[in-house]
Chain A
């Protein structure tokens, strides 16, 4: 009976070869849906709308309490918009790795290298 399969290579050398090949192509781990634009859009929307809603809620309660109906509502609307923008900006910074080390994408690389 003839051997159909080629003699099995040493697994280590095959693994090394495959890793070198991937390194050459500049492969940096699986690209999860975190990088996908839809996920990003949802993130931004949640961050902005959530922050704005909280701020407007605070303004509403303050107005009820101090009987100054439109004043704090207007002030906190703009504060909420600013805070929402700030949150999105910080998140984007973290994802693109501009900020401190060890946040955002850094974890993915660590998880990969521990294996």
Chain B
């Protein structure tokens, strides 16, 4: 796009080859994931520029804040539409924590709620035309998942101390099996941040790429282009569901990990 394209590459190894095969004038379906610098910032050799990704994260946070603060500003006993939506979001996450973690999980409500609202708004904002989907970059989702993973591990270590390591030994298993099962459990535990981030990233990137590919068909087919438009309408509906569902899945898995940390099953 612009002149100041950052060093971060777009996802997909075959990006250049793909661009070559597309008809002239058509954009690559992956160009929507390109990072472009808005305000270059250099912190001692580290590229900390304000990019379009940063911009959309800021927009997501501002939108969440406006949504919640604006909705609750009237504090009516009988809520209006806006206040109802804000309360619904609150109660949805509160119920999720109550059902999956229990009363001990209430202390972590602010974190889980922020996480849910941020991912939800980032996903939904990405569906607007000309916008940028922050969660379609694995580094963003991995950072979120890493915070969850490290936080949950620290919580478990603080609460249970060294007894935390009994988590890796499934109960009711003969001791002879331990040398095999303990490494499997450790690998499975260490894989959590990777699978957690990969799930959100893959869903968002696949959906947005698919939309762009069908958008390209509309251009290529000319007058027959109405057929892919119908598909895009359906796909877009699916993408809205996926955007909400993946925010939900990320949050519910955070709750389950938190439950494991607090109760060590």
**What residues on A are CB-neighbors of B91 within 8 Å?**
114
| B245 within 8 Å of A (CB atoms) | yes
Cross-interface CB contact of A107 among B96, B187, B195, B198, cutoff 8 Å = B96
Nearest CB of chain A from residue B177's CB, rounded to whole Å: 12
As a 0/1 sequence over residues 189 to 229 of chain B, the CB contacts with chain A under 8 angstroms (1 = contact) are: 01100110011001100100000000000000000000000
| A15 within 8 Å of B (CB atoms) | no
The range of chain B's interface size is: 20 to 34
**What residues on A are CB-neighbors of B256 within 8 Å?**
103
Smallest Cβ-Cβ distance to A45: which chain B residue = B202
Cross-interface CB contact of A54 among B92, B183, B187, B238, cutoff 8 Å = B187
Interface residues of A in 58-96 (CB under 8 A from B): 58, 76, 79-80, 82-84, 86-87
Q: Tell me if A's interface is mostly helix, strand, loop or mixed.
A: helix
**What residues on B are CB-neighbors of A43 within 8 Å?**
199
Contact B92–A53 (Cβ < 8 Å): no
Give Cα A18 to B238, complex, Å: 27
| B144 within 8 Å of A (CB atoms) | no
**What residues on A are CB-neighbors of B194 within 8 Å?**
50-51, 53-54
Smallest Cβ-Cβ distance to B102: which chain A residue = A102
Smallest Cβ-Cβ distance to B190: which chain A residue = A54
| A98 within 8 Å of B (CB atoms) | no
Give Cα A37 to B195, complex, Å: 19
| B131 within 8 Å of A (CB atoms) | no
| B4 within 8 Å of A (CB atoms) | no
Q: Tell me if B's interface is mostly helix, strand, loop or mixed.
A: helix
Smallest Cβ-Cβ distance to B170: which chain A residue = A86
Give Cα A103 to B96, complex, Å: 10
As a 0/1 sequence over residues 98 to 114 of chain A, the CB contacts with chain B under 8 angstroms (1 = contact) are: 00001100110011001
Most chain A CB within 10 A, of B96, B183, B203, B238, is at B183
Given the interface pairs A51-B191, A106-B99, A107-B96, the reply to whether A46 lies near B198 with Cβ below 8 Å is yes
Nearest CB of chain B from residue A35's CB, rounded to whole Å: 11
Number of A-B contacts defined by CB within 8 Å? 68
**What residues on A are CB-neighbors of B242 within 8 Å?**
33
| A34 within 8 Å of B (CB atoms) | yes
**What residues on B are CB-neighbors of A54 within 8 Å?**
187, 190-191, 194
Give Cα A54 to B189, complex, Å: 10
**What residues on B are CB-neighbors of A82 within 8 Å?**
184
| B241 within 8 Å of A (CB atoms) | yes
**What residues on B are CB-neighbors of A3 within 8 Å?**
none
Contact B245–A33 (Cβ < 8 Å): yes
Contact A107–B245 (Cβ < 8 Å): no
**What residues on A are CB-neighbors of B49 within 8 Å?**
none
Contact A102–B99 (Cβ < 8 Å): yes
Give Cα A112 to B199, complex, Å: 25
| B252 within 8 Å of A (CB atoms) | yes
The 9 closest A-B pairs by CB, nearest first: A50-B195, A83-B188, A51-B191, A54-B191, A83-B187, A50-B194, A55-B187, A83-B184, A50-B198
Chain A residues proximal to chain B, CB less than 8 Å: 32-34, 42-43, 46-47, 49-51, 53-55, 58, 76, 79-80, 82-84, 86-87, 102-103, 106-107, 110-111, 114
Chain B residues proximal to chain A, CB less than 8 Å: 91-92, 95-96, 99-100, 183-185, 187-188, 190-191, 194-195, 198-199, 202-203, 206, 238, 241-242, 245, 252, 256
* 11 A-B contact pairs sorted by A residue (CB < 8 Å): A33-B242, A43-B199, A50-B191, A51-B188, A51-B195, A54-B187, A83-B185, A83-B187, A83-B191, A86-B188, A110-B95
